[in-house]
A and B are shown apart, each in its own frame.
Chain A
């Protein structure tokens, strides 16, 4: 495992922010971290980076405890934050130099390569205060990649970027995974991005982990079907007999173990006239909202 978060609990001023949260990331995996504002995502990220001390639990990065050996554990980590705060009065290059000095030393050759790769070579000598938001994110990406990390932590990295910038960023991260087998923890509100990039997701609600698993499983866990039929008063009890439930607007939810053909057969036997019946392709957003709504 590249990252293991074990039973993390944290309270601020007596108010619990995280309650026994645990999840793990395998090597080369892109893992989403989702939740509403205040769900505990930032606290989780803070604990992973050793910026926040957990009341209970620990984080292991490549088997090394962040809480016990932070310096050693973070040697393989790069991180990008939403609205990265650089030293605006200095050049992009000087910022990289300073940040890299905190990671064991600056290597000009590697820095030039990374700067070229993120497409900042023309402006790296300019003061950061003159950068656009997109350029700041590219610089953030450069500083995160410079220690040649095996684990990349992305905290809302595409917030404020235009669609072109978001696509560039997504493609870049996917390329990195393909080339270097990099593991990525991706914290974002853009569910479509998470759906396109992530293999697995962890969903937090009020400091508790309410789901952890593959993105595909999440969408398939309680399949939803759209039915156009008469006599719902007869069709509804049939659905309930199979352990399902009737939702709004002609939708029904069935357990994964139930074959929808069986339900159709029972409906026909009960005299229900079915005009249309199909499985609804649900987006991560649909499922996420259902989970958060309880």
Chain B
């Protein structure tokens, strides 16, 4: 028998193997390419005269100086906000929806099940990989977006944020303060997006096709978001997942309301644990025929 490595080392080996699988797939790199293209597009739009005028109006109406806030930090914030909403949801649902269901469809799982790893452990490794991937991808978007924005408008300037839906307005003329808040918001988006990945992951554990896991996840989130917008549901908006997922934006408020943020992130963490547990129970009770 091969001498077994310590458990924590084995977990790291399993996790690095899972991440290697993610990064070895051409589709992963196509995803990175798609995001870079999206960032370039958003940046181009922000460079247009009309967009600049619109932004100037917004900034100056609030008594602020346009030249301070038409900056790489503000543009990066918008890149993150828009690309995560437009492309991020689809991409994360696709990656997490595939992680178990695709391996089952391709027959890889039966090779894994010939090994003495428990189903819980296997799912834990895969879920950890999904969480790390989701969280780090948001930073990739932030860093690459910032690099593009610096190339386009230079590095100087502050951060200007206006988010009417969540009623958030903030302006940081100082670069360091703005950059700090931008990094904090990237971490917040990362945490929020883990919930999206968790929903797709749970469906991926069911006996369904990978594409079905992705589509069901996106459907649930879009329905949640649409219902949340109905005036009837206004008093109950905090019960909607997408509202909780948007709570990260409070991290850029001038005075951070930590109780509000902690409440929402605790809600999301509880939801994530529940989704993982349901997925595991479904996976544990399934028969996998060779």
Chain A contacts to B: CB under 8 angstroms: 12, 42-43, 45-46, 49-53, 70-79, 81, 83-87, 89-90, 94, 97-107, 110, 143-144, 146-148, 153, 155
Contact = CB atoms under 8 A, between A and B. Distances in A.
B48 interface: no
Contacts of A86: 108, 111
Given A98-B20, A98-B21, A104 B290 contact: no
Contact of B107 (A43, A83, A103, A143): A83
Nearest to B4: A104
A205 to B, nearest CB: 19
B2 interface: yes
Nearest to B6: A105
A70 B118 contact: yes
A156 B124 CA distance: 32
Contacts of A46: 287-290
Contact of B112 (A102, A110, A144): A102
Nearest to A43: B289
Interface in B1-37: 1-5, 9-10, 13-14, 17, 20-21, 24-26
Nearest to B108: A85
Given A43-B289, A52-B288, A52-B289, A105 B112 contact: no
Nearest to B28: A89
B17 A97 contact: yes
Contact of B10 (A89, A105, A143, A146): A105
A74 B1 contact: no
Given A43-B289, A147-B1, 8 more contacts: A51-B110, A85-B111, A89-B24, A90-B24, A94-B24, A104-B10, A105-B2, A153-B114
Contact of A84 (B5, B14, B111, B285): B111
Interface in B250-290: 285, 287-290
B106 interface: yes
A74 B116 contact: yes
Contact of B1 (A71, A75, A101, A102): A75
Nearest to B18: A98
Given A90-B24, A104-B2, A105-B2, A74 B114 contact: yes
Interface residues of B, number: 33
B116 A85 contact: no
Contacts of B26: 89
Contacts of A98: 17, 20-21
Contact of A72 (B2, B116, B290): B116
Contacts of B5: 104-105
6 contacts: A46-B287, A51-B287, A73-B116, A102-B115, A144-B114, A147-B115
Contacts of B108: 85-87
B116 A70 contact: yes
B226 interface: no
Nearest to B26: A89
Nearest to B105: A85
Given A51-B288, A90-B21, A102-B14, A81 B116 contact: no
B110 A148 contact: no
B116 A110 contact: no
A71 B24 contact: no
B151 interface: no
Contact of B9 (A51, A71, A105): A105
B221 to A, nearest CB: 29
Contacts of B116: 70-75, 77, 102-104
